[in-house]
Amino acid sequence: MTPATIGLVIGWILTIFIGVLAAMILIKIFKGDIDLNYIISDENGWASLSRFQFLIFTFVVAMSLFYLILAKAPPEYPAIPKEILALLGISGGSYIVSKGIQSSRDVSLKEAGESPEKKEPKVTNTPVVGGPEQPAGNQPVV
Amino acid sequence: MNTLATVLRYEAIFLLGGLALIVGYGLLTHQINVTGLLMDKTSGRAISPGRVQMLLVTMSIAAYYFMSVIDAEDTSRLPDLPNEFVMAFGASQGVYLLGKLYGRFATTMGLASPNVQARAKPKRSEINK
């Protein structure tokens, strides 16, 4: 078996593995087994702008990379300019500082005997792991 | 080898495109929770100007960058983002964080509006107990 053949076999194994994984993830999301309801929410149930920003940048950078990789023949991984890294760094740093401010406020409220305002979680079809037995259908997510 | 590359290409389109569609659809139909995205959680106001400007700046930069990727002639590297955009983004984040910091300490420093002060007073009295 030549190195080229081995490379081809490994390539096919990885391709099939990634394909099956992608299909499983999308099917589980579609069926509601993977719940995306709180993908941009903080621990109190409110939507977080920082998480939303991360989501947007993740999609933009991932799609841009994918687009450029496919644009070359043969495919090649493109260089990433430092401005993009700075953008992601600013976004991440801002998220951490924002969480620090939020946590300090929550701690103050708890010390004052008043818990931070929480938004009631929506009822979804995601079962609670280790939770009490509930009828099939809608079950609350904790 | 060409077949392998083609299969991988369709797989990536399937996964990335599928995820983007699901998340986009979820956001538009509110299946993904967006409650309070623009709300000022520290002062309790319905709309926070700092959050609105940050959302606009984020979406503008994301759209601009994606368009510049599509228009890029040199495909060996991701296109550069002008320094002005990075600075604008940093300033936007700074304004948002300063607004949040102000909301956090405004009540304790006596700088908040009467409504916010009124909301904060019972908490202080509880601390004194």
Half-sphere exposure of residue A137: CA atoms within 13 angstroms, side-chain side:
1
The answer to whether the pTM exceeds 0.80 is no
pLDDT at A128 over 60: no
The string of pLDDT tens digits covering residues A81-98 is 999 999 989 988 988 888
Contact A76, A69 (CB under 8 A): yes
Residue of chain B nearest A104, judged by CA positions = B104
Beta-carbon contacts of B80 under 8 Å, excluding residues fewer than 6 positions away, are A81, A83
The reply to whether B28 touches chain A by the CB within 8 Å rule is no
Predicted ipTM of the assembly: 0.78
At residue A46, the pLDDT reads: 85
CB contact under 8 A, A66 and B12: yes
d(Cα B26, Cα A39) in Å, to the nearest integer?
10
Asked whether the beta carbons of B116 and B43 are under 8 A apart, the reply is yes
Are A24 and A115 spatial neighbours (Cβ–Cβ below 8 Å)? no
How many Å is the maximal CA-CA distance in chain B?
Answer: 75
- Across the interface, whether the CB atoms of B104 and A122 are under 8 A apart is answered no
CB pair distance less than 8 Å for A18 and B11 = yes
User: For residues B90 and B83, what is the distance between their CA atoms, to the nearest angstrom?
Assistant: 10
Q: Which tops the pLDDT comparison, A31 or A111?
A: A31
Per the model's pLDDT, the better-predicted residue between B117 and A20 turns out to be A20
pLDDT of residue B125: 41
Per DSSP, which regions of chain B are E strands?
none
Domain range annotation of chain B: 1-34, 35-128
